[in-house]
Chain A
Amino acid sequence: MKTINIEELVKDGAVHGDIYNEEEIFQLEMTRIFEKTWVFVAHESEIANPGDYKTTVIGEHPLIVTRDSDTEEIFVLFNRCRHRAATVCQQETGNANFFRCAYHGWTYSNNGDLTGMPFQDGYDEHFDRCKMGLIKVPRVGIYQGFIFASLSEEGPSLEEHLGHARPYIDYIVGTGPDGIALNAGAHKYSFDGNWKLQIENTIDPYHLSVTHRSFFNILSKKTGKKINFNRMHKSEKIRDLGNGHSLYELGGDLGIGALPFNLIVFPNLGFLGSQVRVTRPISVNKTHVFLYPIMLKGVSVEENAERLRKHEGFYGPAGFGTVDDLEVGFDRVAEGLKAKGPDGEWLEISRGMNREEVDEQGIITATSSDEVSARALYKEWKRLMTAGSIS
């Protein structure tokens, strides 16, 4: 087995193909990124009522996000019975006051407390029931209704982590007269490739006029207006917001949704079109993706329905855009990555490095065909992947 040296896999304007292919790197990503930083687990609207819950994961850890039946406090709990480790909750979403493990019957309230188990005579006074509740993740933070959790006791606060991404999340929440809700189900799709391909693709306007030419042909036939991508890329901006987050500011309506920007919140959350996108790494070459349409509260059913129709037109397992990304951006890349000629194992992300501008807040900006977003992603990726390396 070859030795992995993370430092050498990301250089100025290029990343090495191993970051998409090597099992060892995937495992390091789980521990050094997903177990260290803040990860989105749910939006409050998904668990709107007392007793509501949702199951999810951080990295490979199964979790339950609950809303306490009495206090309505939100908890993020490991979905693992303290007795013999079986998951205690099987549903994606639901409402329950208690989770009862179906193996030996240990029962927990939805705040995680152990409330009982059958045949208690086998445990004496040394058995401290108070310490045997479902384990809570070390940190939970909520920003504008978006619930994040961190498996690390230490590190920046959620607000610090979100940093310059916060005003854009504020904007998204403000698009509905009474806020927003993720209550319209989800598109769920899968591909046989590395999770970072989907993150990169979330802000990559450079590929729009190529991969999605058929979509834009259809759009211009419908609107009578042809999109001038050359001009578009000269005027639109992409920004590296720091902490791995990045932003693409659309110059006009691309027919794919309501937001005037695409936002990536490191490591695996995206806001674009009319959706919240969650990318879930499954293995080094398997990825699951959720697209949650953002519904506006306080508008008519028709207006939200129109958002859904527009979203479905481009996104999802049968949307005109997503399917072409699945083929070209993921399947073909995964295939091409297997070609490993001498010096031929690098992927270029250098576009526009020569025309970046940095403002007084440290935000790096270049135009929309430039690979600012990928560079932002891999700068933070490298920082976390090399932090705390075992010496």
Chain B
Amino acid sequence: MNTVMVERKEIEDFLIHEAFLINEEKFSEWLDLFTEDGIYWIPSNKDHIDPNTHVSIIYDDRERLEERVWRLESGLAYGQEPKSRTRHLITNVKILESDDQKVVVSSNFILVELRRSIQTIWSGRFEHQLRSQGGTWKIASKKVELINNNEFIGNLSFIV
């Protein structure tokens, strides 16, 4: 097996950088972190579903992800008027698989969102599949397993 040790710290830094771009509302730069075939996925009801037979809260391919970012920057996305202010805390970072081309990394997150004077705590597990591209890591897949994915949740129009 062609296993290459990828430093956990390097991947953790990547996740922290991604969260920074979201929290600072640098959505175009965040979008640039994804590969051309990248997927941004939030399953509905439970963590492990087949997105072809079970509905997702979000199952964005690159095209829809671009539309999502365009909307956030359009000034017409009322769901984000007022905007959500967010801060991610990312922890429990664990490399699940790695070789020199690909990393699968699991992390836990707490996301505090402030909107309409209400502070909401969101939490769950991220599973990122990163691909090496031109010497940097790109997101081939970001899966968000919200712990409340089967609850009646409110407006999730910000980026998790």
Contact = CB atoms under 8 A, between A and B. Distances in A.
A326 B64 contact: no
B59 A213 contact: no
A289 B152 CA distance: 8
Interface string B119-160: 000000000000000000000000000000011111111000
A312 B43 CA distance: 11
A318 B60 CA distance: 11
B49 to A, nearest CB: 7
A193 to B, nearest CB: 11
A301 interface: yes
Contacts of B55: 184-187, 291, 293, 308, 311-312, 316
Contact of A308 (B51, B70, B77): B51
Interface residues of B, number: 35
Contacts of B116: 331
B76 interface: yes
Interface residues of A, number: 40
Interface string B59-90: 10000100110110010111111000000000
B58 interface: yes
A231 to B, nearest CB: 22
Given A185-B45, A324-B78, A304 B154 contact: no
Interface string A299-342: 00110110011011100111010011011100100000000000
15 contacts: A185-B49, A186-B44, A187-B44, A187-B57, A188-B150, A191-B154, A312-B58, A316-B55, A317-B154, A318-B156, A320-B67, A324-B77, A324-B78, A327-B81, A331-B116
What are the 5 closest A-B residue pairs judged by CB atoms, nearest first?
A323-B79, A190-B152, A214-B76, A323-B157, A305-B52
Interface of B: 42, 44-46, 49, 51-59, 64, 67-68, 70-71, 74, 76-81, 116, 150-157
Interface of A: 92, 183-191, 211, 213-215, 217-218, 288-289, 291, 293, 295, 301-302, 304-305, 308-309, 311-313, 316-318, 320, 323-324, 326-328, 331
